[in-house]
Amino acid sequence: MIGDYKGNFPYSKFSIITNAPQNIGIYYCGAMNENGSLGVFYVGRAKGESVTIRSRLLDHFNNGEWSDITHFGFRTCSIEAEVESIEKSEVVRLNIPKYNKKVG
């Protein structure tokens, strides 16, 4: 089962630890638009036993990636196949966000 979008949370270590779940799923990183929506710069996936939405966001944050990212959001998934499917469709739907690499 794919969860509803949750966000938009500030992109900080405290906020990631407090708000990002220890679940598999899809996460979105970006900056807030004037209309209050998240302008997505990256769509990522977290799938696997020790790879969670929280752990992936912390990896990006701790590596100092993307100085222009200010907020994040996420959708949890029940199974790994959902994670892969949703990530691919979201990257296409969002017209390949600037930090996602074109696949294929």
For residue 23, what is the domain's CATH number?
3.40.1440.10
Q: Which residue has the higher pLDDT, 93 or 65?
A: 93
Classify residue 98: in a domain, yes or no. Answer: no
For residue 64, the tally of other CB atoms under 10 A from its CB is 7
What stretches of 1-104 show up as alpha helix (H) in DSSP? 13-19, 53-62, 80-93
Classify residue 82: in a domain, yes or no. Answer: yes
Q: Is 36's pLDDT higher than 80?
A: yes
- Tally of domains within the chain: 1
Q: Is 83's pLDDT higher than 60?
A: yes
Classify residue 18: in a domain, yes or no. Answer: yes
Q: What's the domain range around 63?
A: 6-93
pLDDT of residue 89: 93
Q: Which residue has the higher pLDDT, 81 or 54?
A: 54
Q: Is 104's pLDDT higher than 50?
A: no
Classify residue 85: in a domain, yes or no. Answer: yes
Classify residue 100: in a domain, yes or no. Answer: no
